[in-house]
Amino acid sequence: MAPETPELSGGLSEGLDLYGRPPWSRVAKGYLGWGLCGLALLLVVAPLASVLWGVIGRALPVWHWSVLTEPTTATGGGLSDEILGTLEIVVGVGILAGLVGVLSGIYLAEYAKGRFGSFLRGASEILAGIPSIVLGYVAYIALGIGLHWDFSLASALIALSALTVPYIAKATESALRSVPTTYREGADALGMAPMRSLSRITMKAALPGITTGLLVALAISVGETAPLLYTVGEYTSYGPTVHLTHMSVSYLTWVVYAYNQGTFPQALSYDAAFILMVIVLLLIIGSRLIVSMTQRNTERN
């Protein structure tokens, strides 16, 4: 970022009165500006607080703990299938996208140099910019129709992984790059083999950053609906399944999306929204804790 010289023309001292006070117009501009900033803060906080309250205020009055343990029925029941399905998806994405993302992040940080590296980074950036619904739709065309997987867990995992791998790779790369060079040089000087120094020294130091990236990716895949519509389908009254293909899986975001479609009682949609927010909150607090814990550790060292 090229620092630009602030424009100081206009002779700030010119406008001062006899006592060295600035003219009221400059003072008023300051009040006006900060007033607008305060208004902006209000305009941001009010609707966002309303979103939080809208979910909590609707879910709490209808909340039963049985929501967590009972499957959905025509008249009510709970969300146990949807919660399990969401967990299944999240764990699957964690494994698939985690593996691919971390390994490609390692390559980008340790080996990729020059043109090939920036080619890989550019492609991954473009992939991150492709709307999630398009990824879901392509997975549906290529895997659901093309490979006859129908609605399937596998195509959902692939679509969500395509969505999250760029983030994980980027987080891994920047975490590895921010490991102090002295660590690597120390390991080299002690005669450590490259792989050992990577796995024992560099990766250990980069682990908090990588974990944060993973948690962010998991939060994304918990909250996504668009790539799942076409891949795991909409809702199934069969319980969660371990079949990778030909079987739909229920998931939480669909219950919220279908709040007025008559498939579910509306109370369940509110509950699902509430559970989603709790999961996301836990993931974010988890990543914050990791960051603050490691900061404390490095300070102590």
CB of 292 to other proteins, least distance (A): 11
Q: Assess 289 for contact with other proteins (CB under 8 A).
A: no
Shortest gap between Cβ of 161 and other proteins (angstroms)?
8
Residue 83 Cβ vs other proteins, minimum distance, rounded to whole Å: 14
Stretch that binds other proteins, among 61-69, 71-79, 187-195, 239-247 (CB under 8 A): 187-195
3-class state of residue 72 by DSSP: strand
Residues 231-250 binding other proteins (CB under 8 A) are none
When asked if residue 196 is in the footprint of other proteins (CB under 8 A), the reply is: yes
User: Using the rule CB under 8 A, is 39 a contact of other proteins?
Assistant: yes
User: By rule CB under 8 A, what string of x and - marks binding of each residue 264-283 to other proteins?
Assistant: -----x---x--xx--xx-x
Nearest distance in Å: CB 276, other proteins: 5
Residues 6+ apart with CB under 8 A from 204: none
152 lies in the site for other proteins, by CB under 8 A: no
Question: Binder to other proteins among 24, 40, 95, 293 (CB under 8 A)?
Answer: 40
| Site size toward other proteins, by CB under 8 A | 106
Residue 22 as a binder of other proteins (CB under 8 A): the answer is yes
Distance of closest approach, residue 115 Cβ to other proteins, in angstroms? 13
